Chains A and B, each alone.
Chain A
Amino acid sequence: MNIVSKHPVAVHDLSWKYGERIILRNINLKIERGRFYGIIGPNGSGKTTLLRNISKSLVPAAKAVYIDDLDAAGLSSRDIAKKLAVVPQSTNVEFDFTVTDIVLMGRNPYIRRFGSESRADMEIAEKAMKATNTWHLKDKCISEISGGERQRVIIARALAQDTAVMLLDEPVSQLDIHHQIEIMELICSLTRGRALTAVSVMHDLNLAAQYSDFLILISEGIIVCQGTPQQVITKENLKNVYHLDSFIVNNPVTGKPYIMHVEKLKKHVVYK
């Protein structure tokens, strides 16, 4: 099995249908350890479906998704939870759990049915909260902290899961610009420091280009282009996929591409 070696996540000829509608066609991906991948593409292009196939939230066909060289179709939820952590778009909790309770839930895959969290689990949770700057919130109720804080808590829970890979589904799309940057920097620093691999669906192309090591551009269920931000964020790709006329400059500090959209395609709506 040479195809999938040394990749924490590999996708091999993955297709997915919702009823009759084909969402993903023959997706091939190899995720390298310790990098930050951004999955971008228009609404309905299949990027979240791809992520959900990898996390096995949707059940992929056999031999389509490999996690640590193992076929995901044969792994239990618990096995996968020890290898992949998922950060959803937003988390609304109806009940009064404290931040510590939520972060400790990340230890769930390691605790036996009649067991409960050990001191070691508590220490791991503490470390995760300190790494995400949420330790001061530990006794707060999850419903009384801000959206940005909550997202950091959810990332702490993902860290407490102690996995090699973190999957994120538009982790910042409901946050304001300040918190967006804060979360992106946090994820970025985690991939640098802890050899964590992050794969994140992103809405904001400029944020994606800024922070990702690699971008995966999806349109209509097909990977149109993948590579470094410079390779993927091009005038041609944006025109093809987003039907967008754009002007791309390089961020003077980071050198990463930055998109300035000029004008949508000249389609005038006649409305009388």
Chain B
Amino acid sequence: MVFIHKKKLYKYLFAAALLVLVFIMLLSCTLGAANISIIDSLRIILSGIPLLRNIAGDETIPRSYHTIVWTVRMPRIFLSALIGAGLSIVGSAFQGMFRNPMADPYILGISSGASAGAAIAIVLGLGGVIGGLGIIALFAFAGAVLTALTVYNLARTGSRVPTLSLILAGVAVGFFLSSLVSMLMFFNRDKLERIVMWIMGSVSAASWNQVGILFPVVIIGSVILLAFARDLNAMSTGEDTAKSLGIEVEKVKKLLVAVSSLIIACCVSTSGVIGFVGLIVPHSIRLVLGSDQRVVMPFSAAVGAIFMVACDTLARNLIPPSEIPVGVVTSMLGAPFFIYLLYRNKKKVA
């Protein structure tokens, strides 16, 4: 698919994807354990928007319904969308940068770092809130950032950061931290459930505060990543080649690792480890629209958001009133997709 010939088509498609996202977010607002009708949900949403308040006329709807939609469901839906977008766009950037279609956003061990941070906070019994943010999330964020910095510095040789060293350091540090988490769980059986639940990934504790932090990080981060889409295209054909095409590979790589790590650290510390989104979304986009990062990255963000919102809606509605961790839902849908990819590739080779 030659990019410049299809630019217009991509624009329309992207607009359509955004429409689907808005639609699915609205739909998700109307679904949930509390039995609020679709019409009432929509009226509640409308009443929260200043200019439209008068048409909505929600005086007849109980206040508690209003609270459920605006402070329980909506922040959760926005958070899911942001996390899905963040994980997916970083996944596609990493796949290009590491020249590996199997790279995922956690390849630098950031998820293990966040898990270790969260596990430490849980074991220490720190469950409070500072400045509107959970202490566990802050610990997870610190763990994620520290891990990214450690991996980066382990991989660095002089002023260069060889890609292979990054992956190897990421895997090694990730394994070390995972075993640390296992050890913490082993010696703190009473906290086991909380740690496991955190690691499984969930957005059930979403708040507008979290959305407020994640929104600028994901949006600004994505814009920066998108600005380097053409560089990533060239880098996915080899770093030497990219350099000979005029790209300052080392500088670009450092910037992309920093921006990506920040996005992932923010996502994973608010939601726990949500697997497969960052791997399968860019993959499926690539299957349908080709490998040009200028297409893959924006569509990954949009479709990642759609996928996450859909998965979380399933997670909280499949067996009410209890909830399945959303990380489990994404993986349950992700693994069969992987098998399908494998099958497809096998057919291609044969």
Do A and B truly interact?
Answer: yes
**Distance (Å) between the CB of A49 and the closest chain B CB?**
13
A57 to B2, CA, bound (A): 29
Q: A93-B237, A96-B291, A114-B227 are in contact. Are A122 and B4 (CB under 8 A)?
A: yes
A102 to B230, CA, bound (A): 11
Q: Which of A33-41, A74-82, A178-186, A229-237 contacts B (4 or more CB under 8 A)?
A: A74-82
Query: How many residues on the A side are at the interface (Cβ–Cβ under 8 A)?
Result: 39
Question: Size class of B's contact patch?
Answer: 20 to 34
A139 to B5, CA, bound (A): 12
Judged by a CB distance under 8 angstroms, whether B193 is at the interface is: no
Judged by a CB distance under 8 angstroms, whether A271 is at the interface is: no
**Distance (Å) between the CB of B25 and the closest chain A CB?**
29
Q: Do residues A108 and B246 form an inter-chain contact, with CB atoms below 8 A? A: yes
| In the complex, number of A-B residue pairs with CB atoms less than 8 Å apart | 92
Among A214-264, those with CB < 8 Å from B are none
A138 to B1, CA, bound (A): 10
Q: Do residues B240 and A116 form an inter-chain contact, with CB atoms below 8 A? A: no
Interface flags, A92-125, vs B, CB<8A=1, else 0: 1111111011101110110101101100001000
Q: Tell me which of B227, B233, B237, B241 contacts A113 (CB under 8 A).
A: B227
Q: Do residues B237 and A102 form an inter-chain contact, with CB atoms below 8 A? A: yes
**Distance (Å) between the CB of B29 and the closest chain A CB?**
35
A116 to B231, CA, bound (A): 12
Q: Tell me which of A88, A114, A116 contacts B3 (CB under 8 A).
A: A116
A57 to B243, CA, bound (A): 7
Judged by a CB distance under 8 angstroms, whether A85 is at the interface is: yes
Q: Find chain B residues with CB under 8 A from A94 CB.
A: 99-101, 236
Interface flags, B208-243, vs A, CB<8A=1, else 0: 000000000000000000010010011011101101
Q: Do residues B246 and A91 form an inter-chain contact, with CB atoms below 8 A? A: no
Q: Tell me which of B3, B100, B101, B245 contacts A109 (CB under 8 A).
A: B245
Judged by a CB distance under 8 angstroms, whether A31 is at the interface is: no
Q: Find chain B residues with CB under 8 A from A95 CB.
A: 96, 101, 236, 286, 291
Q: Do residues A96 and B246 form an inter-chain contact, with CB atoms below 8 A? A: no
Q: Do residues A84 and B291 form an inter-chain contact, with CB atoms below 8 A? A: no
Q: A91-B238, A98-B290, A108-B234 are in contact. Are A116 and B4 (CB under 8 A)?
A: yes
Interface flags, A139-150, vs B, CB<8A=1, else 0: 100000000000
**Distance (Å) between the CB of A127 and the closest chain B CB?**
16
Q: Tell me which of A78, A79, A84, A101 contacts B2 (CB under 8 A).
A: A101
Q: Do residues A161 and B101 form an inter-chain contact, with CB atoms below 8 A? A: no
Interface flags, B1-33, vs A, CB<8A=1, else 0: 111100100000000000000000000000000
**Distance (Å) between the CB of A47 and the closest chain B CB?**
16
Q: A86-B241, A88-B238 are in contact. Are A105 and B3 (CB under 8 A)?
A: no
Q: Tell me which of B2, B227, B236, B290 contacts A93 (CB under 8 A).
A: B236
Q: Do residues B244 and A91 form an inter-chain contact, with CB atoms below 8 A? A: no
Q: Do residues B245 and A106 form an inter-chain contact, with CB atoms below 8 A? A: yes
**Distance (Å) between the CB of A51 and the closest chain B CB?**
11
Judged by a CB distance under 8 angstroms, whether A55 is at the interface is: yes
Q: Do residues A97 and B291 form an inter-chain contact, with CB atoms below 8 A? A: yes
A108 to B247, CA, bound (A): 8
Q: A93-B237, A105-B233 are in contact. Are A139 and B2 (CB under 8 A)?
A: yes
**Distance (Å) between the CB of A75 and the closest chain B CB?**
10
Judged by a CB distance under 8 angstroms, whether B294 is at the interface is: yes
Q: Tell me which of B100, B290, B294 contacts A116 (CB under 8 A).
A: B294
Q: A101-B3, A111-B230, A117-B3 are in contact. Are A91 and B237 (CB under 8 A)?
A: yes
Q: Find chain B residues with CB under 8 A from A84 CB.
A: 244
**Distance (Å) between the CB of A230 and the closest chain B CB?**
33
**Distance (Å) between the CB of B215 and the closest chain A CB?**
22
Most B-side CB within 10 Å, residue of A95, A97, A105: A95
Q: Find chain B residues with CB under 8 A from A56 CB.
A: 243
A88 to B173, CA, bound (A): 34
A106 to B246, CA, bound (A): 9
Most B-side CB within 10 Å, residue of A77, A81, A91, A96: A77
Q: A97-B292, A108-B230 are in contact. List 15 more A-B contacts (CB 8 A).
A: A57-B243, A77-B246, A77-B247, A77-B248, A78-B246, A91-B237, A91-B238, A92-B238, A93-B236, A93-B237, A94-B101, A95-B286, A105-B234, A116-B230, A139-B2
For the complex of A and B, 4 pairs with smallest distance between CB atoms = A81-B246, A109-B246, A95-B291, A86-B244
